[in-house]
Amino acid sequence: MSRESIFRDDDWGSRALWWPEMQPVVRAAAAVAVVAALSAAQPPQGREASSRALALPQEPGLPSLCPPGTLPDARVCVPFPRQSAGSERDHAQNRHRDRSGAHRQYDHIPRQPERPADYLKYRYPIAPPASGSFVMSGYDLDRPEVDQRHTANREVGHGGIDLAQSRGTEVRVTDLDNQVGDAEVVYVGEVFGNSVVTRHALREGSRLRDYIVIHGHLEGTGAGLEPGRNVSAGSLVGFVGDSGSPGIVHLHLEVRRVRDHVELQKLGAQKLIQNAYTVACDPRNVLPLLP
């Protein structure tokens, strides 16, 4: 066989490329064939391992030959995360019965797999109590109806989290992950009892998305809070109470993503929490992690 041949005639294991004398395009095609043949010849586990650190012949100007899910690093293909911080969060659909007993379908954004399930790994607008339970009720809109919270007035599902603390505990603004700039007060008044609603702009991929945070069942609200006012992290929102839920002192914390083209300033209290305008989001997706 002449030196112009790409492969020797003996078995695959001893074949060698006449690499120096091949044209760039031919070299690229030959390398692709080698990678494909090696991948096909390995079982799934071996194939995965080879894609993590696969040495490739690389020449200036040649396209990357790394398999999907990896990027070239010198002469090796290394894996990269499929989802990075600030990436777009997809919503899902679920359904449950409303107060009238009718089934209602709704959008929501469940906890992303890379976010810890443990509620105690996050920072909140209030600190945990010195003793006793902190999270009274968690987010459950991603669960089947039978596993969602049911209350005496036939309410089903909980789109936020209820945090136990003593009456009068200060509630303060918490910046969210990937937040850009300060938060803005959107609404002060009745939503879940006395409530303060703040807007937070978060970086998701290549765009900014608006989220609202509802601080509910407050004993009272912070002085001077009004729609349009910017509030930085640590600003006083109000005080833990039981307005709208007599006898159950706690903070209701709910996060919702604003749908595109919705003008929050034009929404009333009830529209702020309607699925047509905002989508419930598991707070663990956006709350900051404790150090």
Please give the pLDDT value at position 15.
40
Regarding whether 120 and 67 lie in a shared domain, the answer is no
The alpha-helical segments, DSSP class H, found in the chain are 24-41, 44-52
Say if residues 38 and 66 touch (Cβ distance below 8 Å).
Answer: no
Is 1 inside a domain boundary?
no
pLDDT in tens, 224-259: 999 999 999 999 999 999 999 999 999 999 999 999
**Which domain range does residue 121 map to?**
92-285
Q: What CATH number is given to the structural domain containing 138?
A: 2.70.70.10
Regarding whether 175 and 33 lie in a shared domain, the answer is no
Regarding whether 240 and 264 lie in a shared domain, the answer is yes
Q: How many separate domains does the chain show?
A: 2
Is 3 inside a domain boundary?
no
Regarding whether 28 and 160 lie in a shared domain, the answer is no
pLDDT in tens, 280-291: 999 999 999 999
Please give the pLDDT value at position 65.
66
Regarding whether 126 and 42 lie in a shared domain, the answer is no
Regarding whether 192 and 53 lie in a shared domain, the answer is no
Mean pLDDT across 130-145: 86
Between the alpha carbon of residue 167 and those of residues 137, 164, 220, 242, 248, the distances in Å are 18, 9, 10, 8, 10
Regarding whether 67 and 41 lie in a shared domain, the answer is yes
Is 4 inside a domain boundary?
no
Higher-confidence residue: 126 or 11? 126
Is 150 inside a domain boundary?
yes
